Structure 1
């Protein structure tokens, strides 16, 4: 169980690094990605951990492993997309404009690419990460993973409290009489990299933040999200 959690955490951090670097270059300023306060994007951790758990122990040739990876990552990506949309009203990717896609959630060209990435992951990266996790657990005598787990869960709890608190603050400054604006019940990402005009209420929220001292943790986090997600949408 310790190894499973540490694997999840390591790849969550790797995912955060990848997104932060990519988006910082794209935005030409530092962008701190992720909804959690800490430097991790759990969706990457869940995805990689699921892939590693589902890899057949006796997969045979490298070609056979590749085709297994294509099937596994396609299923994981489809399920993850569906869960994010249904449970959290989040849509982080859309392959509708790509050929051979299924509901915009998965697409054959993307799955072929992820299959190659998973081969590199299993053959090159994971052996190094696995040894590193074992060494860390041994050096810290099993205490290190426990501390990291406590910190991670504290972050999740803090973020949950932030979501509930900040939502009330933002809803107070937005006119919800218009059905289009009444989507403040939850604010989540819509299309992360899609080029569109920011939501009309975004200006009101930025003004509110500029007039409010950022002494409370949830206020600083809300300011970070607004700054780092310029295309953030407010959805029901």
Structure 2
């Protein structure tokens, strides 16, 4: 089992699934992913991890097929929840944004994971391991090893370059968000009416900031950040809601 091969396959399949689902919901094409290339790394990591976890679990599965199936789904759902929770926490800590939020779903934990999606990932993980992983490995075995290795080197090279520039964009976006929040805090301190007035007049507030602090140039240079808001229209933050509201409106003009 070649982990590098599986990662590429599942990152691509995840991109197809996610892009198709979101595009259907929004009734327009949405390249659902951080990268520009057609790969979503979290799907690659998640699906590959599930396959490896199931392989490790096989010797310990109960003899009953029904019990083994239920246990496998529970096991994979639990593992996927740990991965999803950890990813959500790290991304919010690093990028000051929450790219998915299950707060409105029943039986959620801090809005990062929820029972429904966990069950979905458990079932999906089992289907991947049981019915999809075999054909994928068989497909790879049909390809000439030299050709396959060349393909993997090219694809991983492309992903690394893509990830580098995407990470730079996200770090720059984070700096814009933090700077705007600092300006907002200073502005709040100078008005008697309080935060409600600023929220109701967020457009005027942004005009003042852009005029006096030079943020307009920063936003013009950062219009490429708008793709993150287009691809993830529900992205939110609990700590910086006004900044995200204003920034989304400016970048999507």
TM-score by length of 1: 0.70
Q: Is the 8 A contact 1:81 1:91 kept in 2?
A: no
Q: Is the 8 A contact 1:67 1:115 kept in 2?
A: no
Number of the residue aligned with 1:70: 74
Shift of 1:176: 3.2
- Structure with the larger helix share: 2
Q: Is the 8 A contact 2:99 2:234 kept in 1?
A: no
Task: Provide Cα deviations, 1:35-70, integer angstroms capped at 9, x if missing partner.
Answer: 122111111111111111111233355430441232
Farther off after superposition, 111-120 or 101-110: 101-110
TM-score by length of 2: 0.66
* Residue 113 of structure 2 is aligned to residue 125 of structure 1: no
Number of the residue aligned with 2:20: 21
Task: Provide Cα deviations, 1:63-86, integer angstroms capped at 9, x if missing partner.
Answer: 304412322321332343134214
Number of the residue aligned with 2:244: none
Describe the shift of the 1:136–1:159 C-alpha distance in structure 2 as closer, same or farther (beyond 3 A).
farther
Instruction: Report how many residues are paired.
Output: 210
* Residue 234 of structure 2 is aligned to residue 227 of structure 1: no
Question: Computing the radius of gyration over CA atoms, which structure comes out larger, 1 or 2?
Answer: 2
Number of the residue aligned with 2:162: 155
Shift of 1:99: 4.5
Describe the shift of the 1:110–1:173 C-alpha distance in structure 2 as closer, same or farther (beyond 3 A).
closer
Number of the residue aligned with 2:199: none
Query: Could you say what the CA RMSD is over the residues aligned between the two structures, in angstroms?
Result: 3.7
Runs of 4+ in 1 over 6 A off after TM superposition: none
Q: Which runs of 5+ in 1 are unaligned?
A: 183-199, 214-218
Describe the shift of the 1:29–1:141 C-alpha distance in structure 2 as closer, same or farther (beyond 3 A).
closer
